[in-house]
Amino acid sequence: MKTEISKAQIDRLGDRLRKGNLTDSDLRLLDEYRRSFTSAYEKVVGLIRRELEVDPTGRPAKSTTSIGEKLRRESIRLSQIQDISGCRLIVAEIADQDFMVAALSKLFPTSAVIDRRQKPSHGYRAVHVVATIQKRAVEIQVRTALQQLWAELSEKLSDLVDPAIKYGGGSESIQRILTKASALVIRQEDFELRLISQKKRANRLLSTPRPEGQVNEADVRVIQALQERVDSHQEHVIKAREVVLECLKDIVKDLSD
Amino acid sequence: MLFLIEYAREKGKLVTFKAFSEKDSTLAKNTRLELELDLNRRGVNREVVLLEAENEEALRRTHRRYFENLEELVRAS
């Protein structure tokens, strides 16, 4: 019968991963440790698919390269890493993101929510919900389409130019551009939130019951004004998205030049 | 479906891409391990990861970095 790997064994393996020069038995032990997340991963992804009717892309086990880098970058033990196993959900806008995070929190009541919109990590914005099943953590990343695009660009630049870029290091000019792009994503999200708020106000007014034929002119004016603001915000949202994309295209052009 | 990815980070290029059905998940995991062992013995530094998605199209949507260069990432947005 196979014995479970002890925490001490895992952390000693983590020390060796931090140093590099891994042996076959190190890689086999790491593989065994990662496979111990399979059941928790399958439960989490299965529940998301069944209950929320969405299809996340899963990463049952973090790569050895990424684990090694994380151990070298942070003062953390292997047994403490929370994203050994995880999955990703991409939603259209910030309202969908809030909705999805609320649904996930309900589905996994003991989960921890890490809101990287409140506290971005070197420009990285997303919400991570960490569900723990059978003492194994599974990280669910929820990103909007724009947050996803920013993250993919940041990762690609880290791959090609300098791995430190993703963590706020490397070329200052690339950092400046990524920070600017992240600020534009925030502006876009702000527009989206204001649009939601205006729509809610308009809907509240429109759904207020009134006796037939007794809609007063003041109400009509308020509703018209709100409708105009909703339209105006809608335009801002579209324009802001275009600005973000243009900015990101500039990053790529600068790098190509 | 499961997808085995071998990715050369410094070149930003996909080296290996293999698809497995759900019922072959153990085979996929074993193939991932064997690939990693082989690369480690040869001293080749590559990112090796197994991802799960409904289909290849969904995977390409959520993990574009493995499949696209910088220009493509922005252009297709």
Q: Residue A46 domain-assigned?
A: yes
Q: What percent of chain B has pLDDT over 90?
A: 88
Q: Is residue A191 part of a domain?
A: yes
List the domain range (segments joined by +) for residue A250.
Answer: 172-256
Q: Is A150 helix (H, G, I), strand (E, B) or coil?
A: helix
Nearest CA distance, B37 vs chain A (angstrom): 6
**Where residue A38 sits, what CATH number does that domain have?**
3.30.460
Tell me, yes or no, whether A61 and A139 share the same domain: yes
Is A83 within the bounds of a domain? Answer: yes
- The answer as to whether A156 is a domain residue is no
pLDDT attached to residue A43: 97
Q: How many Å apart are CA A34 and CA B8, to the nearest integer?
A: 22
- Whether A23 and A138 share a structural domain: yes
Domain annotation covers residue A186: yes
- When scoring B16, B36, B46 by the number of chain A Cβ atoms within 10 A, the one with the most, hence best to mutate, is B36
C-alpha dist (Å) from residue A152 to A169, A235, B62, B74: 17, 26, 9, 10
Render pLDDT for A63-122 as a digit per residue (tens, 0 to 9). 999 999 999 999 899 999 999 999 999 999 999 999 999 999 999 999 999 999 999 999
Query: Does residue A188 share a domain with residue A71?
Result: no
Is residue A235 in some structural domain?
A: yes
Which residues are CB-neighbours of A82 under 8 A, at least 6 positions away?
A130, A137, A139
Q: Please give the tally of structural domains in chain A.
A: 2
Q: What's this model's pTM, rounded to 2 decimal places?
A: 0.88
A76 backbone dihedrals φ, ψ, rounded to 5°: -135, 150
Residues A125 and A224 in one domain: no
A235 C-beta neighbours (distance < 10 Å), count: 12
Q: Identify the band that residue B16 occupies on the pLDDT scale cut at 50, 70 and 90.
A: very high
A176 and A92 in a common domain: no
Residue B50, chain A, CB below 8 Å: the answer is: yes
Q: Which of A63, A88, A149 sits opposite B77 (nearest CB)?
A: A149
Residues A84 and A16 in one domain: yes
A45 shares its domain with A140: yes
Which ipTM did the prediction report? 0.94
Residue A102 within a domain: yes
Contact B12 A159 (CB under 8 A): yes
Q: Are strands B47-52 and B2-8 parallel, antiparallel or unpaired?
A: antiparallel
Contact criterion met (CB below 8 Å) for A150 and B73: no
Contacts of A165 by beta carbon, 8 Å cutoff, 6+ apart: A154, A157, A158, A171, A174, A175, A178
pLDDT band at A236 (very low <50, low <70, confident <90, very high): confident
